[in-house]
């Protein structure tokens, strides 16, 4: 839940599930007596599709949260390009481009965090 920036109390409030139910979901491996409606409600409270937790419990791997992230894709392309480059000058230029891009990303993240901190 830390990855979702949500406390257990916030999860309980959002889901409107009983605290003991939430504890069972979070602590039991696998959650005992977790019904489909309970899993669906918990999934929605986490901002996920209704069937996500059920699919995970049935053995499906959770989706990669970065799959649609354009920045991650761009960095992957740069990494592949670097791996193919043998010329030192080109490598230095590519590394400088990556550093510039990372600086821009860091600034965006700082702005987003500041915006999030200002929200009630």
In this prediction, residue 64 carries a pLDDT of 73
In this prediction, residue 21 carries a pLDDT of 87
Which residue range forms the structural domain that includes residue 27? 8-58
User: Is 101 within a domain?
Assistant: yes
In this prediction, residue 88 carries a pLDDT of 82
Q: 75 and 54 share a domain? A: no
In this prediction, residue 2 carries a pLDDT of 65
In this prediction, residue 45 carries a pLDDT of 92
User: Is 72 within a domain?
Assistant: yes
Predicted structure pTM score? 0.52
User: Is 33 within a domain?
Assistant: yes
DSSP 48-115: S-TTHHHHHHTTPPPPPTTTT-HHHHHHHHHHHHHHH---HHHHHHHHHHHHHHHHHHHHHHHHHHHH
Tell me what the pLDDT averaged over the chain comes to: 83
Confidence band (pLDDT; 50, 70, 90) for 25? confident
User: Using CB atoms within 10 A of its CB, is residue 39 exposed (0-12), middle (13-18) or buried (19+)?
Assistant: buried
Q: What token pair was written down for 99? A: 């550093």
Per-residue model confidence as pLDDT tens digits over 27-77: 866 666 788 999 999 999 998 899 998 888 888 887 777 777 888 878 888
Report the length, in residues, of the chain: 120
User: Is 2 within a domain?
Assistant: no
């Amino acid at each position: 839940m830390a990855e979702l920036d949500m406390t257990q109390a916030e999860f309980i409030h959002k889901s409107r599930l009983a605290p003991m139910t939430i504890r069972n979901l979070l602590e039991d491996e696998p959650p005992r007596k977790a019904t489909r409606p309970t899993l669906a409600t918990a999934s929605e409270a986490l901002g996920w599709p209704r069937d996500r937790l059920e699919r995970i419990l049935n053995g499906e791997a959770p989706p990669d949260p970065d799959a649609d992230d354009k920045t991650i894709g761009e960095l992957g392309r740069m990494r592949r390009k670097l791996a193919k480059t043998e010329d030192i000058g080109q490598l230095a230029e590519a590394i400088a481009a990556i550093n510039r891009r990372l600086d821009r990303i860091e600034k965006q993240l700082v702005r987003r965090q500041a915006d999030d901190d200002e929200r009630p």
